Amino acid sequence: MKTFDELGVAPEILKAIQEMGYEKPMPVQEEVIPFLLGEMNEVIALAQTGTGKTAAYGIPVIQCIDIRKNQPQALILCPTRELCLQIAGDLQDYSKYVDGLKVLPVYGGSSIESQINSLKRGVHIIVATPGRLIDLIGRNTVRMNEVGNVILDEADEMLNMGFSESIDEILAEVPSTRNMLLFSATMPAEIAKITKKYMKQPREIVIGNKNESNENVKHQFYTVQAKDKYLALKRIADYYPSIYGIIFCRTRKETQEIADHLIEDGYSADSLHGELSQAQRDNVMQKFRIKNIQLLVATDVAARGLDVDDLTHVIHYGLPDETESYNHRSGRTGRAGKTGTSIAIVHIKEKGKIRQIEKGISKKFEERTIPNGNAICEKQLIAWVDKLEKVKVEEEQITEFLPSVFRKLEWLEKDDLLKRLVSLEFNRLMAYYRNAPEIKAPDAYSSEGRREAGRDGREGREGRDRGPRRTSPGFTRMFINIGKVDGIYPNTLIEVINQNVRGRVGLGKIDLLQNFSFFEVESSVADKVINSMNKAEFLGRRVSVEIAQEKQGDDRGERGGSDRGERSGSERSGRFGRRPETQDDYASVRKSNFAKRKEGDRNRGSRTNDRGSFGTRKTTERKKRY
């Protein structure tokens, strides 16, 4: 392996990076630096985050700047403000001893005037997010005729974020003789298109296989029933007492909900997503960086700019659709020579996706079972004992208090003392987990597994529970006039109930149907729920809740139709000229639909569907963490 010196890095840059603790080049640097220092050739570098990409292009770009020309000579485009600031900061560090070199970060959400003033004074390297740069170009405040190098960093993410046209506009402003360097964690087809369009004969440098995962990352998955997903997350967090990680969710709403629940349950957590203001996001990221927060619940885009090297875990609360995104997420751990674990909490129907990711990253996942209460208590205890062993004893500070402590405890043997210390720390945790049931993976062949897998009607069709639905003892089954066409999920329904009914509401099974739904509530609060919910509105429509009619269980007409994806005319356009609002309205729609479908079924071979319920008993109140 060569040294930075041998790669041709100039002494003033060498001095700065040595001060930063860069002793030897990382593989991507060893490949890219000498190549770019040569003739400033064009490069496509595929390397994971955390592999030292910024220095790989930053060092040669700095070295090729002619300080005497007070003009932008290099342009670095990146997707987010955070990354922009991070890159500019790194370049400033590398060029600490390069006299007069000016690097300007240009990004949205900060004063454009001060950026214009800096541009007027003259800069050598611009690091920009595409939107703000276009704004500056539109105001004629940035000249790019001397730009010799354009770097697209995290090019895949810029495309994901819809910056493709902006990149075209920007590239039209720089001389056609410029070099282009493209750095990307992944190589989706769109990137290949860009390289064809804008690059002449780029050298492709691949660190590891394309999309191959970082060697330092272990990949694991847990299969759980949908209703247990959050519980499983808590157990995983409890099983790793020193966890410092990001929990990725698919939507902003889910991100906020999971973070809220974790906070409510006593975890050191917060959320990061696009609905927060920039100031809020900065605040959360700072708290996470300094480890005031152990768990950051985030969307992919919002977590982009976060630069943290020592994450122990990345948790996928929802798997992303693309292998590239999975790889990008999991590449946030196991960085800078450290090891990390990427954990996916999946539903049985996502196992196929796991296999697909395994192929993409050329690595096997380990399937794990959710730790039980005992295992968690033991893990926490050992971690605590470890801390006890390693705690720094501040002799001077405690000496004066010790005599009275010894006097008070002198009657206790060492064993007794330890037992008391452990009890003090762990009684609540142990009580919490004492009777906690195991969280089992749904067996694909059990009725639970089939019901779980069949929720979206794509899998597990055979052998479903066809018996009439029975109301759980102690519960009353309610009808509500909102259903899947209104875009509700079980969580949404729980939310609507929470928002409108005061106090604790014990909920049982929830059955979401196309136009309406059923849910069970503890019989003691049934009247209260009806009274409160009937004053409520959902998406501007009056909510109607009533006790479900006994015969309502047999709603095969509704289900059969929706499962085949062929909603009847009345469902699509409103057979009554309005949406039916009561069970009787629905009953007559169903009756006529059922008659039609029976006819259809006879032709097709009868197939009715009961997708079963969503989860077992839930309560809208949550327990505090032990």
Rule CB under 6 A: which residues touch ligand AMP? 22, 25-26, 29, 49-55, 309, 335-336
Exposed, middle or buried: residue 12 (CB in 10 Å: 0-12, 13-18, 19+)?
middle
Only one residue has tokens 């050992």, namely 382
Alpha carbon 368 to chain centroid, angstroms:
20
Nearest approach in angstroms of CB 17 to ligand AMP is 7
Instruction: Give the integer Cα–Cα distance in Å for 297 and 345.
Output: 14
Residue indicated by tokens 């030292």: 52
- Shortest Å distance, C-beta 570 to ligand AMP: 57
Q: How far is the CB of 247 from ligand AMP (least distance, A)?
A: 21
Are 246 and 314 in contact by the 8 Å Cβ rule? The answer is yes
Minimum CB distance to ligand AMP, residue 249 (Å): 24
Q: Find out whether 322 and 159 touch, Cβ atoms under 8 Å.
A: no
C-beta closer to ligand AMP: residue 185 or 480: 185
CB-nearer residue toward ligand AMP: 66 or 309: 309
Nearer to ligand AMP, 214 or 593 (CB): 214
Give whichever of 87 and 526 is closer to ligand AMP, judged by the CB atom.
87
Strands of the 506-512 sheet, one edge to the other: 545-547, 475-480, 517-522, 506-512, 618-619
| Inter-residue contact 51 to 211 (CB < 8 Å) | no
Q: How far is the CB of 163 from ligand AMP (least distance, A)?
A: 20
End-to-end CA distance of the chain: 52
Q: Whose Cβ is closer to ligand AMP: residue 330's or residue 515's?
A: 330
Least distance between ligand AMP and beta carbon 127 (Å):
13
CB of 110 to ligand AMP, least distance (A): 22
Count of beta carbons in the 10 Å neighbourhood of residue 256: 18
Whose Cβ is closer to ligand AMP: residue 33's or residue 293's? 33
Give the count of beta carbons closer than 10 Å to the beta carbon of residue 478: 23
Instruction: Provide the token pair at 440.
Output: 């089992």
Q: How far is the CB of 18 from ligand AMP (least distance, A)?
A: 10
Nearer to ligand AMP, 335 or 611 (CB): 335
- What are the residues whose beta carbons fall under 8 Å from the beta carbon of 221, sequence distance 6 or more? 343, 344, 345, 346, 354, 365, 366, 367, 368
Please say which residue, 52 or 449, places its beta carbon nearer to ligand AMP.
52
For 187, residues 6+ apart whose C-beta sits below 8 A from its C-beta are 46, 156, 210, 211
By C-alpha distance, which of 220, 205, 141 is closest to 173?
A: 141
The least distance separating ligand AMP from the CB of residue 293, rounded to whole angstroms, comes to 20
User: At which residue do the structure tokens 């998406």 appear?
Assistant: 539
Considering beta carbons, is residue 51 or 299 the nearer one to ligand AMP? 51
Query: What burial letters (b/e) apply to 513-540, b meaning 16+ CB within 10 Å?
Result: bbbbbbbbbbeebbeebbebbeebebee
Q: In the numeric block, which tokens belong to residue 264? A: 């409510």
- As a whole number of angstroms, the distance between CA 532 and CA 581 comes to 17
User: How many other C-beta atoms can be found within 10 angstroms of the C-beta atom of residue 406?
Assistant: 9
Closer to ligand AMP at the Cβ: 49 or 256? 49
Write down the least CB distance from residue 180 to ligand AMP, Å: 19
* Closest separation in Å from C-beta 5 to ligand AMP: 13
Nearer to ligand AMP, 127 or 545 (CB): 127
Q: Which two tokens stand for residue 95?
A: 């060029």
Instruction: Match 């040669």 to its residue by tokens.
Output: 60
Amino acid letter, residue 210: K
Contact present, 516 and 586 (Cβ < 8 Å): yes
DSSP 3-state assignment of 353?
helix
CB 154 to ligand AMP: min, Å: 10
Cβ atoms 324, 157 nearer than 8 A: no
Count of CB atoms within 10 A of residue 401's CB?
9
Tokens representing 237 are 């967090």
C-beta closer to ligand AMP: residue 58 or 72? 58
CB of 26 to ligand AMP, least distance (A): 5
Q: Which residue has the tokens 């990345």?
A: 314
Nearer to ligand AMP, 49 or 271 (CB): 49
